């Protein structure tokens, strides 16, 4: 199983989903791969924001090795499931020609959180978003295990 998280610039939301899902995969000794990227290359090669790295560290996660990158056409073929962090990302990926069976809204399994995962630039609520990602990644892990058993 190859999982991809996508947000705008790959310095906050998608990188958060990436490290949380990676820990779930590692903790369960699965032979799955996870990556993250952005629809833009505005921050290409940069690490996640310092503010989200501080929150991640508080919860026992290390984001220091992640570097932002832009989604490619190759990603659409390579990954089995692609999580869009909000509607604009979903539409962007869909326009790139992805197989619709692969594309999912990240918050699909946690409708109580709404449709779009908030961007910190608008909310400044990194810890709340981090907790939502932990909960949602765990729900997706359980769903993916069910689908693949």
The residue from 7, 37, 133, 137 that is catalytic is 7
Q: Is position 119 annotated as part of the catalytic site?
A: yes
Catalytic residue flag (residue 13): yes
Catalytic pick among 75, 119, 133, 137: 119
Q: Which among 91, 59, 78, 68 has a CA at the least distance from the CA of 18? A: 68
What's the rounded Cα separation, in Å, for the pair 7 and 119?
9
| Cβ-Cβ contacts under 8 Å for 92 (sequence gap 6 or more) | 39, 71, 84
Catalytic choice (13, 35, 75, 137): 13
Distance, in Å, from the CA atom of 39 to the CA atom of 70, rounded to the nearest integer, reads 6
Is 69 an annotated catalytic residue?
A: no
Active site residues: 7, 13, 119
């Amino acid at each position: 199983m190859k999982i991809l998280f996508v947000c705008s610039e790959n310095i906050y939301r998608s990188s958060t989903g990436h490290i949380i899902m990676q820990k779930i995969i590692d903790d369960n000794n699965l032979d799955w791969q996870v990556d993250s990227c952005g629809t833009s290359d505005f921050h290409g090669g940069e690490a996640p924001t310092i503010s989200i790295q501080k929150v991640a560290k508080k919860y026992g996660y290390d984001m220091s090795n992640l570097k932002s990158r832009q989604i490619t056409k190759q990603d659409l073929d390579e990954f089995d499931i692609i999580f869009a962090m909000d509607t604009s990302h979903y539409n962007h990926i869909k326009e790139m020609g992805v197989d619709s069976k692969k594309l999912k809204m990240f918050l699909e399994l946690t409708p109580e959180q709404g449709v779009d995962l908030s961007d910190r630039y608008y909310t400044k609520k990194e810890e709340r978003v981090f907790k939502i990602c932990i909960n949602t990644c765990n729900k997706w892990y359980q769903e993916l295990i069910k689908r693949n058993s």
